[in-house]
Amino acid sequence: MLNAPIKVQTFLANLPLFKELASDELDRIAVNTREQRAARGEVLFRRGDPALGFHMIVYGQVKLAFTSPRGDEKVVDLIGPGQSFGEAVMFMERPHVVTAQTLADSLLLYIPREIVFQELERDPRFVRRIIAGLSSRLHGLMSDLESDSLHSGTQRVIGYLLRDSDESHVPAPALEVTLPATKGVIASRLSLTQEHFSRILHDLTARGLIEVHGRAIHIPDVARLRASN
């Protein structure tokens, strides 16, 4: 695991949530921010734990998931560098509703709730940033719900593979995609079984739409894959 120190204020200043804050405001937040290093597989919090702050990822990856009494897992989201999680329940002052676990060695910043509340009272710009961030997360969750409810498994997989391909611009003819987690985790994220996810990848490969090399997926013709959706 990397152990080099980071400049917390500099990192915060480059994040959308904090970039409009003045240096003294960033100083107040940074001085109360705690670095948290976590090895792969470490549980950061479990469902039902009190939400006394929120996390931001410097490097690494975190899985947010529900677990049934039988041990079945449903992955809700995969969080990567520069992203945050835990804000919503923190503001509601309610316990966490998911379990957060690292999928790789990670460095996180933990910002206590009371520090955030103090800054919200001082600066309305920070309030707008928080609302915008939570609204964006809600929009993403609604899009996921729509996809899970109305789209076939194949459509969900294709949409996931093309999530970073912008239709509003001339797309690259080919695309290289690296799955950010194991196929089992991605399958759960898409509300599929691992077997169904593998069958879909196999079918897309047989049709010449993708080439799978472990976690690396080559899409030789982006437009053709999108048209098949």
Alpha-carbon dihedral of residues 28, 22, 131, 96, nearest 10 degrees?
Answer: -20
Residues 75-102: pLDDT tens digits? 999 999 988 899 888 888 889 999 999 9
Q: Backbone phi, then psi, for 194, in 5-degree steps?
A: -65, -35
Give the C-alpha separation, 35 to 56, whole Å: 10
* 115 and 221 fall within a common domain: no
The per-residue DSSP string of 138-166 comes to HHHHHHHHHHHHHS-HHHHHHHHHTTT--
Q: What is the DSSP string of 165-210?
A: --TTS---SSEEEE-SS-HHHHHHHTT--HHHHHHHHHHHHHTTS-
Answer with the one of 114, 134, 150 that is the final residue of a domain.
Answer: 150
Measured CA distances, 31 to 2, 47, 123, 133 (Å):
22, 28, 18, 23
Q: Is the pTM of this model over 0.85?
A: no
Say how far apart CA 60 and CA 83 lie, in whole Å: 11
Instruction: List the single range of 14-23, 26-35, 57-66 with lowest mean pLDDT.
Output: 14-23
Q: Is residue 86 part of a domain?
A: yes
- Domain annotation covers residue 12: yes
- Answer with the one of 150, 178, 206 that is the final residue of a domain: 150
**pLDDT tier for residue 178 given thresholds of 50, 70 and 90:** very high
Q: Specify whether 45 is located in the same domain as 138.
A: yes
Residues 21 and 45 in one domain: yes
Domain span at 74: 8-150
Q: Report the domain count for the chain.
A: 2
Residues 138 and 178 reside in one and the same domain: no
Which residue among 132, 150, 168 closes a domain? 150
Whether 3 is covered by a domain: the verdict is no
Give 96-126 pLDDT, tens digit per residue. Answer: 999 999 999 999 999 999 988 888 888 777 7
Is there a single domain that holds both residue 129 and residue 41?
yes
Q: What is the pLDDT of residues 25-51, one digit of tens each?
A: 888 889 999 999 999 999 999 999 999
> Given a cut of 70, is residue 63 above it in pLDDT?
yes
Summarize pLDDT for 113-162 with one digit per residue, the tens: 998 888 888 877 777 777 777 777 777 777 777 666 668 999 999 999 99
Answer whether residue 5 shows pLDDT above 70: no
Q: Are residues 39 and 92 in the same domain?
A: yes
> Are both 108 and 161 inside the same structural domain?
no
Domain with residue 125: its CATH number is 2.60.120.10
Give, rounded to a whole angstrom, the gap between the first and last alpha carbons of the chain. Answer: 40
> Is residue 2 in some structural domain?
no
Query: Nearest Cα to 97, choosing from 119, 80, 72, 74?
Result: 74
